[in-house]
Amino acid sequence: MPKPIWRPFIESIFDSIATLDLDKNKILIGNLKYLKDMALIFANIEEQDLESYIWWAVVNVVAPHSSEKLRDSWTTYLNNLRNILDIEMGESKSLQCASAVNELMGMAVSWLFVDPTFHDNEALKVREMLENIKEAFASLVVKTDWMDQSTKTVTLEKNRKMSSKIGFPKWLFNKEELNQYYEGVDLSETKYLGNMIQILKIEFNETWATIHENNIFNDSYWFTDPTTVNAYHIPHANEITIPAGILQFPFYELGLEALNYGAIGSILGHELSHGFDNSGRLYDSDGNLRQWWTNETSTEYTKRTQCFIEHYNTYYEPVIDQYIDGEETLDENIADNVGLREAVIAYERWKTRHGQEPLLPGFTQFTHEQLLYLAFAHVWCESYTTASLKWLLDDTHSPPHVRLRAVLKNSKEFSATWNCPAESNMNPSKKCHLW
């Protein structure tokens, strides 16, 4: 098969959407290895086989949302695959419909879901927590002995300038603006799949149309919908987004700030730390992709990340006979480790400003610091099948039980709080840390 002709392909994507000048425009390759591997596959596959694969990929997406006849055939096919490959069945029909509405019209769903008074109450507490975590990170950078002063200065600047979006956009309850957000969408009660394709096409075109714009990351732009149960760091905007979906139990509103800092606090720290992990550190305080650390500091950083790679490589999953890939999961592992440490320091700052909290009724044998670690552990409670564990090991995140144990083993604060004996399982002498 001939090599893919990238230039016409890229130009066809932007046809009638935006004007490109590929002689001047730079194309950022997010994963060069993937493209090289794909080129090798293209070189050794028949064109007809590739076309069949592409159509099967299309069927895989549209079949669950099409006619009853095709859905039944697809379900039968999946049942046969399940028996052969030990894969898990998809969602029920009702859950598929609910998920589709939430994914494609998340802002409209959020209008029904979120508390209009959030920005006057809870958002202020979350913002204070995030500021405490930013201060905690700054204190770690100042004490770092492997960064030169010029790199420390620009790192602290990036931390200071990192913006945040919390909960949901303030325009959400303005009906005119909400309707404008879905401008061009013309839904039909009889065209379910057509509705989905229409919305995706509009979103796609609107996204690509902004390729030459520099100010799209303003207060009105949201990277994700408020219903999302996750948090994000956006490197090219130097921004953290914390949707309303994750600002609830079991991550938030746990009664004590010690618990909140252990749960959502460690997640906020995780996202902030992404701005300085192996990928995030390539973007400066304005979100520009450039080298803004000195070569000496970059070299020292890489040396220290090797400890994390080697540490996570030791975790073995006997159920599927596979080790964790410490290099593939490096960025997420760094964010996990640094994020928890930031949360611990940030909670101490909160106590300095607000005073000691009462103990947790029924658990008065635990200190507030111990409760923080218990809340952190609770975040990673899990139940998985063999199939889902296989899927997890192809992800850039380590499995939840590894994210818990590995981070705590690297935490000297954890060992001190729980009085773990030296060289015990949870308190090895060799610990990995950056800041």
* Cβ neighbours, 10 Å, residue 5: 8
User: For residues 107 and 245, what is the distance between their CA atoms, to the nearest angstrom?
Assistant: 12
Give the pLDDT mean for 164-176.
Answer: 94
pTM of the model: 0.89
295-313 helix and 400-409 helix, angle to the nearest 10 degrees: 120
For residue 87, pLDDT beyond 60: no
Instruction: Say which residue, 283 or 29, is predicted with more confidence.
Output: 283
Give the pLDDT mean for 119-148.
Answer: 95
Give the pLDDT mean for 270-295.
Answer: 95
Note whether 269 and 134 are within 8 A (CB).
no
pLDDT in tens, 359-413: 999 999 999 999 999 999 999 999 888 888 988 899 999 999 999 999 999 999 9
Residue of 246, 287, 264, 13 whose CA lies nearest to 163: 287
pLDDT at 83: 62
Confidence of residue 86 (pLDDT cuts 50, 70, 90): low
Confidence of residue 264 (pLDDT cuts 50, 70, 90): very high
Confidence of residue 24 (pLDDT cuts 50, 70, 90): confident
pLDDT at 216: 66
Confidence of residue 60 (pLDDT cuts 50, 70, 90): confident
User: What percentage of the chain exceeds 90 in pLDDT?
Assistant: 64
Residue of 94, 128, 87, 91 whose CA lies nearest to 386: 87
Instruction: Say which residue, 95 or 267, is predicted with more confidence.
Output: 267
Note whether 360 and 256 are within 8 A (CB).
yes
User: For residues 402 and 106, what is the distance between their CA atoms, to the nearest angstrom?
Assistant: 32
Residues annotated as part of the active site: 271, 336
Give the pLDDT mean for 313-332.
Answer: 96
Q: How many residues does the chain have?
A: 435
**∠ CA 64-69-72, rounded to 5°:** 60
Instruction: Say which residue, 2 or 392, is predicted with more confidence.
Output: 392
Lowest mean pLDDT, pick from 11-25, 40-54, 181-195, 384-398:
11-25
Residue of 160, 107, 161 whose CA lies nearest to 137: 160
pLDDT in tens, 209-250: 877 776 666 777 898 999 999 999 999 999 999 999 999 999
Q: Which two tokens stand for residue 112?
A: 């029904």
In the chain the domains, ranked by start, together with CATH numbers, are 5-86 (no CATH), 87-115+173-221 (no CATH), 117-168+224-418 (3.40.390.10)
User: For residues 228 and 243, what is the distance between their CA atoms, to the nearest angstrom?
Assistant: 6
Confidence of residue 78 (pLDDT cuts 50, 70, 90): confident
Instruction: Say which residue, 393 or 3, is predicted with more confidence.
Output: 393
For residue 251, pLDDT beyond 60: yes
Note whether 277 and 337 are within 8 A (CB).
no
Phi, psi for residue 27 in degrees, rounded to 5: -110, 120
pLDDT at 425: 95
Lowest mean pLDDT, pick from 34-48, 240-254, 355-369:
34-48
For residue 301, pLDDT beyond 70: yes
Give the pLDDT mean for 299-317.
Answer: 97
Q: Is 12 exposed, middle or buried (0-12, 13-18, 19+ CB in 10 A)?
A: exposed
For strand 316-317 and strand 322-323, is the pairing parallel, antiparallel, or unpaired? antiparallel
Give the pLDDT mean for 38-65.
Answer: 88
The CA distances from residue 424 to 123, 411, 415, 420, in Å, are 41, 13, 10, 7
Note whether 168 and 162 are within 8 A (CB).
no
